[in-house]
Amino acid sequence: MVGGGGREHALAWACARSPQVAQVYCAPGNPGTAELGENIPLTAIDAEGIAAEAERLGVGLAILGPDAAVAAGVADALAGRGVACFGPTAAAGRLESSKAFAKEVLSRLGIPTAPYRLCASWEEARAELEARSGPVVVKADGPALGKGAFVCGGPEEALEVAHRLLVAGELGEAGRLLVVEDRLEGEELSFFALCDGRRALMLPPARDFKSALDGDRGGNTGGMGAYSPPRTSDWERLNQTVLADVVQPVLAEMARLGSPFTGCLYVGAMMVAGTIHVLEFNARFGDPEAEVLLPLLPDLVPHLRAAAAGRLEGGQLSAVQGASVGVVAVRAPYPAPVTPGGALEGLERLPEGCTAFQMGTRRAPGGGLEGAGGRVLICVGTAPDLHGARALAYQGLERISFPGMRYRSDIAA
Ligand code: AMP
Ligand code: GLY
């Protein structure tokens, strides 16, 4: 398992429960994964180090968590040493690491997405924005840790953003090329396809909550909660549509370009008047969506292995029963920077059906747990229905404490 956040804790947890898995290693992992297997002190972007260690340990399957590991070419390095890997090469990962590349693939394939223009200079961006009137979204082409998309009211606000990126260089290289696109209105939904380079297996979709405060107010965050499956009763039909109209054509196109995509293709979509529009791709599991999905699903390890080996049975994961709700506990004043430290307590008191995955924790010198990041953990409830799952997640949070603890009260409300 490559990575060390809540998503990787959930993946390691799922692997540790699988009858097909004898031992889990995490690089670098976190205090949560240390209880499920062995942490290896290598960063997630140390491609050569991870590949060498995986070969030495005789690892049967590597799983890439964060986009930084994908972009750093960990899959490429693992392939060079003959280690099976669930996660795309850096070239296939361009679907996430370059928004311009993703938009070009989408428009070549005629997949609905917001109409856009690429702007490589301030002059181009100004001309484009001055010719516009409605709401607009400005996106940095390159990776920006989730801070590269600016949803703007009108062209004035967008001009200011474009100036900050292209002239002041606020996001460095990542912001030297901009995607300027129409702002779409609708309901957002995230879709997940396990891919083997040619075929795909759809997991249930999920909803995530990005704003820091209740009522979708406050700044954008790495994610404050999620739930699955979505409330809409026709999600299985939507999944079929995304598989046939988005995932299959994108996989064929990536193969044609010589960069077949193996791993989790995350399709961020907006439902606009009943039609699915693609907002973005990620080349990995969502975080916190993975934490919500994994406790809900049957053993994924056989599918991840089949995907890595190029022999996945495509379609849609059947036999999904129940619902799952995850609520992230952060330390105030997140999303502003926080000071680490202070005892984290109560993880052993969670009710049945409730699991906590650690996102930003560390071991204190005395051996206890402490909060170490802005997002400290996610508490996930799984139950026969959404209502029950939600109640469990919040019951679990009431038993947990750390200094400055705060969470949204309206996840899946
Ligand atoms: P991205 O980095 O592309 O995932 O964008 C981050 C968030 O910005 C998305 O999850 C949406 O909430 C929002 N967003 C991105 N593109 C658009 C768009 N064209 N219209 C409306 N909202 C958007
Ligand atoms: N939850 C959104 C993401 O993983 O990018």
Which ligand is in closest contact with the Cα of 179?
A: 1
What digits encode the pLDDT tens for the residues 226-282? 999 998 878 999 999 999 999 999 999 999 999 999 999 999 999 998 899 999 999
What digits encode the pLDDT tens for the residues 82-98? 999 999 999 999 999 99
> Closest Cα to atom 2, ligand 2: which residue?
286
- Which pLDDT value is given to residue 201? 98
Provide the CATH topology of domain 187-316: D-amino Acid Aminotransferase; Chain A, domain 1 (3.30.470)
State which ligand 2 atom lies nearest to the alpha carbon of 287: 4
Which ligand is in closest contact with the Cα of 141?
A: 1
Q: Is the pLDDT of residue 145 over 80?
A: no
> Closest Cα to atom 5, ligand 2: which residue?
286
State which ligand 1 atom lies nearest to the alpha carbon of 182: 19
Q: Ligand 2 test: best mutation among 139, 266, 280, most atoms within 8 Å of CB?
A: 266
Which residue ranges make up each domain of the chain? Answer: 2-87, 116-182, 187-316, 323-406
Residues with CB under 6 A from ligand 1: 114, 137, 139, 148-149, 151, 181, 183-184, 188, 268, 279-280
- Which pLDDT value is given to residue 28? 98
What is the average pLDDT value for the chain, to the nearest integer? Answer: 96
What is the Cα gyration radius of the chain?
A: 21
Which ligand is in closest contact with the Cα of 224?
A: 2
- Structurally, at CATH architecture level, domain 323-406 sits in Alpha-Beta Complex (3.90)
The whole-number average pLDDT for the span 104-117 is 97
* Distances in whole angstroms, Cα of residue 17 to Cα of each of 3, 11, 24, 144: 19, 10, 10, 34
Contact, 44 vs 84, CB < 8 A?
no
- Which pLDDT value is given to residue 344? 97
What digits encode the pLDDT tens for the residues 51-86? 999 999 999 999 999 999 999 999 999 999 999 999
Q: Ligand 2 test: best mutation among 289, 291, 292, 293, most atoms within 8 Å of CB?
A: 289
- Which pLDDT value is given to residue 318? 75
| Distance from the alpha carbon of residue 239 to the mean position of ligand 1, in angstroms | 20
Q: pLDDT exceeding 70 applies to what percent of the chain?
A: 100
- Which pLDDT value is given to residue 399? 98
List, in sequence order, every residue forming a beta bridge with 136; answer none if it has no partner. 152, 182
* Residue 359, CA atoms < 13 Å, CB-side half-sphere: 26
State which ligand 1 atom lies nearest to the alpha carbon of 277: 19
Residue 393: partners with Cβ closer than 8 Å, 6 or more residues away? 325, 326, 327, 354, 379, 380, 381, 411
- Which pLDDT value is given to residue 321? 85
Q: Is the pLDDT of residue 146 over 80?
A: no
State which ligand 2 atom lies nearest to the alpha carbon of 286: 4
- Comparing CA positions, the residue from 360, 369, 283 lying closest to residue 328 is 360
> Closest Cα to atom 7, ligand 1: which residue?
149
pTM for the model stands at 0.96
- Comparing CA positions, the residue from 210, 213, 310, 323 lying closest to residue 268 is 210
Provide the CATH topology of domain 2-87: Rossmann fold (3.40.50)
- Comparing CA positions, the residue from 304, 43, 13, 87 lying closest to residue 53 is 43
> Closest Cα to atom 3, ligand 2: which residue?
286
Provide the CATH topology of domain 116-182: Dna Ligase; domain 1 (3.30.1490)
What digits encode the pLDDT tens for the residues 302-320? 999 999 999 999 899 976 7
- Which pLDDT value is given to residue 83? 98
- Which pLDDT value is given to residue 154? 83
Q: For residue 219, name the pLDDT band (cuts at 50, 70, 90).
A: confident
Q: For residue 222, name the pLDDT band (cuts at 50, 70, 90).
A: confident
State which ligand 1 atom lies nearest to the alpha carbon of 188: 12
Question: What are the two backbone dihedrals, phi and then psi, of residue 284, each rounded to the nearest 5 degrees?
Answer: -170, 170
Q: For residue 392, name the pLDDT band (cuts at 50, 70, 90).
A: very high
